Amino acid sequence: MQNNVLILDFGSQYTQLIARRVRELNIFCEIKPYNHLPDDLSDYKAVILSGSPFSVRADDAPHPDLSEIKGKIPLLAICYGAQYLAHFHGGNVAPSNTREYGRARLTSIDGNEPFFYEIREGSQVWMSHSDTIKQLPENALKLASTEDVQNAAYKIEGEITYGIQFHPEVYHTKQGKLLLENFLVHIAGLQQTWTPDAFVETTVEELKNKIGSDKVILGLSGGVDSTVAAVLLHRAIGDHLHCIFVNNGLLRKNEFQEVMDQYEHMGLNVKGVDASARFLNALAGEDDPEKKRKIIGGIFIDVFDDESHKVDDAKWLAQGTIYPDVIESVSATGGPSATIKSHHNVGGLPDFMKLKVVEPLKMLFKDEVRRVGATLGIEDERLGRHPFPGPGLAIRILGDVTEEKVNILQEVDAIFINGLKEWGLYHEVWQAGAMLLPVNSVGVMGDERTYEKCVALRAVESTDGMTADWVNLPYEFLQKTSNEIINKVPGVNRVVYDISSKPPATIEWE
């Protein structure tokens, strides 16, 4: 990639959003931890410094060596990044006298500065810091203020270096995307050429060069990510791709056969493997969410190892890993951000498995995967399928997993998902599912007292899964769905609806 932006992560909760906004401009970017700078910076045409939960005045604050970046590569420093440049280059950063969190309005904008081209006086921005820049760094020129922040934006004269105290990446900064475009396109001179067509062309060529005539095994899940990865690989290496679709006993009702039937029409070489008993036996008695994920990941590896020996000279294992999986599993590629949860398809393979890993989608967000899939000619129905967790219903059954619980949840889930489709609500929702809770509650059916399970329904709207909000489904739909679940699924006498956003909650309950 010669048209590339490097985002240095200082641990901000917003770092991933910076990447999203840059990608929306059709410019490729990568997140790297502040303490692991790439050895070769020649591919990067601009650098962005993220915010951070740290104070630049703290002894343990992130302190990277920017000597090969500042003044040499166009640089935009956001929040902590702006304070960092000030603190270590002749300025002064001190605790704020007033609370600087939330909405603010830009004032005193330098109208001649291309950084603020078409940015309106009074434009709303989002602040999130406890320190403030009292004195600008050497050779700096103030570009804008707010009511409470004197030095809200500045530039270093003689360099293409800009610092801002606010966050252009968040939704609440109304013209944040325009500001990023001004910096990256009009000032740094990057071209907006990173499109789905360009990604497909480049990636297919890279896969051909990397894999050659080797054989590749790909684990299909039936979801968007693995399907797009399969079609992309098939375009690159054709029949050298061997796809395996595993029934782990934790899929949706009738999903195994339905997905196998769909893949038959896509020209892919797919083998179905029923390993449901193997997974359920391994999960017996385990109620810890992380251990359940790791058990499932381990069994997947074992199954693929078994199947790989049946394919002569298989050299590669392909996975549909996408960028949010990587970010949530390894803290923004190893930086200081908090790890959220592990993903079964992230983290490499054990030494005994003699396959190399290829992950053609690992730098894409979910919405980007869908756009790439459309470019590859995959039908809308397949691309519009809701995301489904790799560990399947195991992490939607809170507590230990049994075949009986799986059967209950499959029936509940089928009623919920089919209902969304019948009511024309399915495509208004980004992801939906049901959770089986580890509690019984009292109820009355007829004249008899019941003491049965409670299920929680969840439906969220999102673009990439990094943030999400609950969907305000019609009361009439929820009423009908609840009645149908309680009447048709033995063992369930209570239905609730989850109205939590992400953050602070996650989409899944485990």
Q: Which of 169, 328, 368, 510 is catalytic?
A: 169
Distance CA 185, CA 54 (A): 30
Statement: the pTM of the whole predicted model exceeds 0.85: no
Sites in the chain below the pLDDT cut of 50: 1, 330-348
**Is 167 a known active-site residue?**
yes
- Residue 101: left if φ>0, alpha if ψ -120 to 50, beta else—which one? beta
Annotated active-site residue in 29, 79, 129, 243: 79
Residue with tokens 């397949």: 382
Which residues sit opposite 46 in a β-bridge?
5
C-alpha to C-alpha distance for 8 and 28, rounded to whole angstroms: 14
Neighbours of 458 (CB within 10 A): 24
pLDDT recorded at residue 2: 59
Exactly one of 167, 240, 343, 344 is catalytic; which is it? 167
What letter does residue 145 receive in the DSSP assignment? B
Q: Active-site residue 79, yes or no?
A: yes
Report how far Cα 455 is from the mean position of its chain's Cα atoms.
26
Q: 359-416 pLDDT, tens per residue? A: 999 889 888 999 999 999 998 888 888 988 889 999 999 999 999 999 999 999 999 9
Give the separation between CA 8 and CA 41, rounded to whole angstroms.
Answer: 12
Residue 254's pLDDT is 93
The answer to whether residues 393 and 251 touch, using CB atoms and an 8 Å cutoff, is yes
Count of positions (residues) in the chain = 510
